[in-house]
Amino acid sequence: MNFDFTPEQEMLRQTVRKFVDKEILPHIKEWDERGYFDPNILKRLAQLNLMGVCIPEQYGGMGMDYNSLAIVCEELERGDTAFRTAVSVHIGLNSLTLLQWGTEEQKQKYLVPQAKGEKIGAFGLTEPNAGSDVAAISTTAVRDGDDYILNGQKTWISLCDIADHFIVFAYTDKSKKHRGISAFIVERTMPGFSSRAIKGKLGIRAGNTGELFFDNVRVPKENLLGEEGEGFKIAMSALDNGRFTVAAGACGLIMACLEASVKYCHERKTFGKEIGRHQLVQQMIANMEAGLQMSRLLVYKAGFLKNKGRRNTRETSLAKWMACDFANKAADDAVQIHGAYGYSNEYPVERYLRNSKAPVIYEGTREIHTIMQAEYVLGYRQDKPLRKMLPAWEEK
């Protein structure tokens, strides 16, 4: 068991940290206030070859391991959750799903340009009446000759107005319930497709989130991902990757809360001494540090299993649940440490608190993950090998 990062991973962390310090932190307060997502950030990440960090070199990526992806997500969320979310969706939910389930033709057409950052990928599963209950989706895909005709709506879709390609889930046979769901690669330019951003969000205001609409969208059969009826399996495997990146990002949010709070603890004085000298403030700082270290261990263990090509649903679920809860608590404590100033946007901690709530909800609510972990322990839930797994990463 080795807890050391490779020199390449340390270099990667420093590269992303410098990028965040230069390209995101000077502007994020304005972007958050405006509700503005800057697409140029993704272009600059592509210039650093980070939009395909863990995608094999043969498909245009950097060929680094899954914990390298975790490092990227952690450092990006230290800047803002919006940009970690963009990478989570592009790589975790879309590109890794194409790598796992796509045909060679689909990988060449969609995965390669995405790994290079020339195209952006997103993921369409959630609907107005279908969140945790995936089988409740109502979007349909009806076979018509060599095409499928898609009709329906998706909501809370990250990169809704930015992405070029979407992995979309729809019923091809409603009578089979979740076994009748299939997955499709949908292009923005396909007639009948449209999107609309959602405004007025509590947090992640600098992110692009919204709805997708499918009005008789004709999708060629070559864009069926996997086989008919495999959509539910594909969605669950995609969530294993998405949840991994969300958990890693939560570590970055805890880190941001710690950095801001430690700085303020040395600046602010009460009762004749720095507030960091007060034991109850120290308790909050200590809890943040404990949450950060425990979360990282859970994330990197899940990444270890991914590197080995092993099923990691249980471990990733636990990492996502715990890291997001720790981040939410860290952000709450960071506001408390800052006192009244923490309640204004003069300091970043109020943004951290707003941003920390969404990850507790999306990609499996804390309640869903609580049930999953209990069912694993009680023996009610057991993971079966998937027909396709992500390729193992081998250290060179």
Provide the 10 A C-beta neighbour count for residue 177: 12
Question: Among 17, 195, 226, 24, which residue's Cα sits nearest to residue 106?
Answer: 226
- Residues annotated catalytic, as ranges: 363
Q: What is the rounded CA–CA span in Å between residue 50 and residue 115?
A: 8
301 and 319 in contact (C-beta within 8 Å)? Answer: yes
Q: At which residue do the structure tokens 């004749």 appear?
A: 272
Question: Among 244, 99, 95, which residue's Cα sits nearest to residue 164?
Answer: 95
Length of the chain equals 396
Q: What is the rounded CA–CA span in Å between residue 175 and residue 301?
A: 39
Helix (H) or strand (E) segment spanning residue 225: strand 224-225
Euclidean distance between the first and the last CA atom of the chain, given in angstroms as a whole number: 17
H-assigned helices in 223-365: 231-267, 279-307, 313-338, 349-361
Work out whether strand 165-171 and strand 147-158 pair parallel, antiparallel, or are unpaired: unpaired
Q: What is the rounded CA–CA span in Å between residue 336 and residue 277?
A: 15
Q: At which residue do the structure tokens 């602010």 appear?
A: 268
HSE toward the beta carbon, residue 348, CA cutoff 13 A? 29
- Tokens (6 digits) for 213: 């609409």
Q: What is the rounded CA–CA span in Å between residue 356 and residue 256?
A: 11
Chain-centroid distance, C-alpha 25: 20
